[in-house]
Structure formats: C-alpha cells, structure tokens
Amino acid sequence: MSNTLSTDAAWRRLHEEATAPYRQSGRFGWHFARGKLGRDPAFRGMLERQLIGARHARVLDIGSGQSLTASLLSVAASMQTQGHWPSAWPATPARIDYTGIELMPRDVARAQAALGHLQPAPRILCADMCSAPLPACDLVVILDVLHYVDLPAQEGVLQRVRDALAPGGRLLLRVGDAASKRRYAISQWVDHTVTRVRGHRVSPTWGRTLVEWTTLLQRLGFAVQNIPMSQGTPFANVLLVADLEPASP
C-alpha cells in the first residue's frame, strides 16, 4: 500500500469518487451526497478511527438513505487494490457484501440508480427495519435512524441486530444524546427540516440519553464505547461502537 498518499488527499479522492455515481440519480441526489459526505464527520471518522476493519465484509446499513456507506466502502476497496491508501488508515474490506434497508422509496430509487454498477451488486431494499428480515452480517451501521421509532421498537431492532451479527461483529450506532438538551433540540429541528426537504412526512421522534443507550446495548450483550461524532456541527451526536464477543476457541 502507498504510504505517500496523505489522509486529506485520500479523503478528497474518496469524496469525489464515492459521490460521482449519484449524478445518475439526478441533481438532488448528487448534491445531497456531496454535502452529506463532505460535512458529516461520521463517514471519514469511521475510516480514520479504525472502526471498519478488513474483517467487516458483510455490511448491513439500516435506514440507509442513499446508501452512501456502500459507495464509500466500494471506492475505498478499489483504492486499496490500486495501492492508493494512506498508511495511517487501516485496511477496509477488499470486497463488500452490502445490504441497505430503507423505508423511503425515493431514497431507495436514488441509491439503486447510482450504485447499480457496483460489483458485487449491493442489495438495497425498500422495507421497514422493524419487520424486515436482517441478513447475517459482520458490521451493522445505523446512523441517525432509531429515533424515528418508539422505544420498544428501537429495542426490537437492536435485539434483531444482535442476532444477525456474527460473533465478534460490530454495530456502529449514531444517536443523539437527549441529555444535551439544547444541542439535542437543534438536531431535532434540523432533522425535521431535512426530512421535509427530502419530501418525506415528518413524524414524532423518540430519544434516550447516552447513558440509557449504553445501558440498553450492554443489556443486549454488547461491549460499548462512545465517540463524540458531531465535530463541526451544532448537534449532540454520539457514535456508539458496540461489539459482540468473538466466538470462543
């Protein structure tokens, strides 16, 4: 692998190449992808904080929106194959087996239009995470989604995530910390506005404090760390890194 490529140069290339396919999905989809990947610290953070490793090949993205994670990981894999990857970043999977589950047909259509060229083909399903079957996986990504369903439904999704994950599997769950009242209120306001702009109906949302999220995940059998994940934004977002025990030898 190249050790001459700086992390900033690598990120510029990732941003360019992972968003370019969204031109196929129309102006909105392309601009949304560029803005989201450029401004949301979670995507670069998942790479540079070593949260996605080579072993996380089977990826389940719940509430996947435009499936940006599939595009990002696919470009990351091809850059590594070409030897263009900063030495400071760990390897991500060489081949992604991606499933996205998204409720909104328009987002699913944009993702399918943009990512149809990927090999292996991503599965991008229009379904409700509360009832959709979850495939066996090594990594589950849930970014800013669980607050759309009520507290028992959140727990139901997380139980099914735990059951779908292989031993040693990882859940990356970004949530708002309801204990940070002012920043949490800003997140909710922006969330409602973006939901409306994307042409979706705005529904009530259900939050928990960071302590409550952590306690719930631990009760389900995960070992949990948390990483603030709202740098450069006014939000109270936290990325929970929740790991299952590896299989015993």
Single out the residue of 21, 41, 65, 169 in contact with ligand SAM (rule: CB under 6 A): 65
Toward ligand SAM, which CB reaches closer, 130 or 166? 130
Toward ligand SAM, which CB reaches closer, 64 or 99? 64
The answer to whether 102 contacts ligand SAM (rule: CB under 6 A) is yes
The answer to whether 145 contacts ligand SAM (rule: CB under 6 A) is yes
Alpha carbons 178 and 208: distance in angstroms, whole number = 5
- Cβ neighbours of residue 181 closer than 8 Å, sequence gap 6 or more: none
* Run of H or E residues at 12: helix 7-19
Site stretch for ligand SAM (CB under 6 A), options 140-148, 162-170, 222-230, 235-243: 140-148
Length of the chain: 249
Task: Tell me how far, at minimum, the Cβ of 157 lies from ligand SAM, in Å.
Answer: 8
Single out the residue of 99, 107, 176, 213 in contact with ligand SAM (rule: CB under 6 A): 107
Task: Tell me how far, at minimum, the Cβ of 63 lies from ligand SAM, in Å.
Answer: 3
Between the two ends of the chain, the Cα-to-Cα distance in Å is 32
Site for ligand SAM in 13-52 (CB under 6 A): 36
State both tokens at 180: 């940070």
Decide the pairing of beta strands 237-243 and 223-228.
Answer: antiparallel
Contact letters (x/-) for ligand SAM, 206-235, by CB under 6 A?
------------------------------
Query: At CA 131, angle to CA 59 and CA 74, rounded to 5?
Result: 15
Single out the residue of 11, 85, 89, 148 in contact with ligand SAM (rule: CB under 6 A): 148
Q: Is the distance from CB of 84 to CB of 7 less than 8 angstroms?
A: no
Residues 222/104/77/20 CA torsion (nearest 10 deg): -150
* Residues making contact with ligand SAM (CB under 6 A): 36, 63-65, 68, 101-104, 107, 128-130, 143-145, 148-149
